[in-house]
Amino acid sequence: MGNLRSILSKDFNNILWKDKITSLFKLSFDLDKLHNIGFCHRDFHSGNILQIYHKDLRVNTSYISDFGLSGPLNKQKSDGKICGVLPYVAPEVLNKEPYTTSSDIYSFGVIMTELSSGKPPFHKRKHDAILALEICNGLRPEFGKGTPEIYKKLAYRCMDAIPDQRPTANELFDILQVWYLSCTNNEEEIKAIFEEADKEIPNISTTYEKNPDAVYTSRLFTFSNLPKPINSPIITSYLNEEENKDCQDSQLLDLEVPSSSQSRGI
């Protein structure tokens, strides 16, 4: 048992892509349940994701934890202060906009980058006003070598600068369910994509030097005069490609998926 961040730092090279997809699938289910009751988490990051090993099932299961900052969408602080871990905070929240369910989805996208690289987002950088400015200008964490394109596209959708363009937790659940079932039930095309990515895992170094001012515990901060959030050219290219995707890329959204109400026996 431990949090996702600590497990990635210790055991990243032994975690296959099917395991990453399984974790994200479970997390999307939990996040959807939270959003369905009108709450958002407001402090969603890898330190707040518990990994618990179930001996009877011989599997690790991911759970969202630490709901201390969670609350109803209709109850927001008005003092302009933000509490969280800077790299996971949505750019609109940095800009003093209210937390929404879409803000949690942004954090989900950042967690996706961390699962692919094995490193905390922006570990080389000071977590300060300059980083907040660059996030608003479209800077996003890097992916690990060999990360599948369909995975990058979904993560970039989650990290879209425009909150309304991000998928909902329910949409994430449906997409990740397709990937999860494909990886576990031998659906060849999607399974092959992630198995090919597995070949790069041993080549990804998880050693890194953390900037002493990179802070991965929740804290209060305020920023002034940040610009309106925009997407970087690379994100825009991925999002435009997604809008004009061909039949192969339609695996993200256009595959028929089981009804959510019938398939959530997780």
Q: Residue 58: its pLDDT value, please? A: 46
**Catalytic residue check, 32:** no
Position 174 in a domain: yes
Average pLDDT, the chain: 86
The average pLDDT across 141-164 equals 97
CA distance 48 to 64: 6
Lowest-confidence segment of 74-83, 126-135, 257-266 by average pLDDT:
257-266
Position 251 in a domain: yes
Q: Which comes out higher in pLDDT, residue 65 or 99? A: 99
Q: Residue 202: its pLDDT value, please? A: 93
| CATH number of the domain where residue 230 is located | 1.10.510.10
Position 43 in a domain: yes
Position 262 in a domain: no
Residue of 43, 104, 160, 174 with catalytic role: 43
Amino acid (1-letter code) at residue 52? I
How many domains in the chain? 1
Position 72 in a domain: no
Confidence of residue 54 (pLDDT cuts 50, 70, 90): very low
Does pLDDT of 228 surpass 90?
yes
CA distance 79 to 184: 47
SS3 content of the chain, % helix, strand, coil (to 5): 45, 10, 45
What are residue 248's DSSP bridge partners?
Answer: none
**Percent above pLDDT 90 for the chain:** 66
Position 172 in a domain: yes
Q: Which comes out higher in pLDDT, residue 233 or 257? A: 233
Q: Residue 73: its pLDDT value, please? A: 58
Q: Where are the alpha helices (DSSP H) in the chain?
A: 4-11, 17-36, 91-94, 101-117, 129-136, 149-158, 169-184, 188-198, 233-243
The average pLDDT across 227-252 equals 77
Position 203 in a domain: yes
Q: What's the domain range around 60? A: 2-66+79-255
Position 74 in a domain: no
